[in-house]
Amino acid sequence: MNFIFDVGNVLVDYRPMQFLTDLFSNKAIAEKMHKTIYKSAEWLDMDRGLLTPEEAIKIYCTREPDFQPEIHQVMQNVNSMFTPKPATINLLPKIKESGHDLYYLSNIQYGIRDVLLEKHDFFNLFTGGVFSCDIHYIKPSPEIYRYLLEKYSLNPEDCLFFDDMEENVKAAEKEGIKGVLFTTAECVLKFM
């Protein structure tokens, strides 16, 4: 069996609102930055690898000129938000030792991808994977699942996909992959 993991909120924490409320003592500013940055089309375009952070910052600052310092602060500190989830990470060697291959499939930007791969050696346990920025498709687009399957010659029926977002799980299932909605590491244990 091939175990395919999403990265954000499965292998590492991804909690933008928590990150923003830690960064800014003013809740209104945190909410404004959440809407301006994380809920923007530009954030998704960075995930698709179609826009650099520098290009996005210019757009955000043009759109919200009164919040330029806050926008820069968020974008300079964005990588600090991604901290490993030990309960899931600790399962990876056990899955591998039991004869299963590990893959990742994640919507992520170039800069964040590079920092994660550099900082976290647990990625060395993976046979391979796909980051959205490298192929310009994001989940739940069917193309990203098909790309992973084709790149590694995987039979979808031999794959389990763990993701914290139901729409991504359903999209995987449409491609013949068994999807599992990730809530805690316990949901992975059932398949080991």
Instruction: Pick 2-13+82-189's CATH classification: 3.40.50.1000, 1.10.287.990, 3.30.1180.20, 3.40.640.10.
Output: 3.40.50.1000
What integer is the mean pLDDT of 33-52?
A: 97
* pLDDT confidence of residue 176: 98
Interval 22-32: pLDDT, tens: 999 999 999 99
Spatial distance between the Cα atoms of 134 and 113, rounded to a whole number of angstroms: 10
* pLDDT confidence of residue 152: 98
Classify 136 in phi/psi space as left (phi over 0), alpha (psi -120 to 50) or beta.
left
Interval 111-167: pLDDT, tens: 999 999 999 999 999 999 999 999 999 999 999 999 999 999 999 999 999 999 999
What integer is the mean pLDDT of 163-173?
A: 98
Interval 64-86: pLDDT, tens: 999 999 999 999 999 999 999 99
Q: What are phi and psi of 14, to 5 degrees?
A: -140, 95
* pLDDT confidence of residue 192: 84
Please say if the pLDDT value at position 89 is more than 90.
yes
Token pair recorded at residue 90: 């600790």
What angle, rounded to 10 degrees, do the helices at 142-151 and 166-174 form? 60
Q: Output the average pLDDT for the chain.
A: 96
Task: Decide: helix, strand or coil at residue 62.
Answer: helix
Give the Cα-Cα-Cα angle 36, 39, 45 (nearest 5 degrees): 100
